[in-house]
Amino acid sequence: MMLNKKLLMIGRPENTALLQMYGAEVMLVRDAEEMNQVVKTVEEHLEAYGIILIEAKLFTGEKLIKKLRSLGIPVLPIPTHRSEANVAHKNMEQMVNKAVGMSLDFLK
């Protein structure tokens, strides 16, 4: 049941504190090694999460992106800097394309 699922935010302390105050579960990551450990932890407790928000700066590397997308729950990169807005936009387009089976470019 979706009501029992938690929101998970993966990122640095300064970018996760607000969501944590509102009840999101937070996993802090500072480097690639910590990111790999977080992915393993998420896999072990997959049934607990309904959506994963991840700091866009940490959402890099083809292997990591494939791994997170294969989990079967939505993963949204959250830009924490203006220059990262394109990453979130591309990811949202891919999710819509996957859900509806077509690009929605004609709505622009």
Phi, psi of 6 (to 5 degrees): -105, 155
Reported as a single tens digit per residue, the pLDDT across 33-90 is 888 899 899 999 999 999 999 888 887 777 887 888 888 888 888 877 766 666 666 7
Quick one: pLDDT at residue 57? 81
Quick one: pLDDT at residue 55? 87
The model's pTM: 0.72
Q: Domain 2-107 falls in which CATH fold?
A: Rossmann fold (3.40.50)
The answer, yes or no, to whether residue 15 has pLDDT greater than 80, is yes
| Residues 6 or more apart in contact with residue 81 via CB below 8 angstroms | 56, 57
The answer, yes or no, to whether residue 1 has pLDDT greater than 60, is no
Domain borders along the chain are 2-107
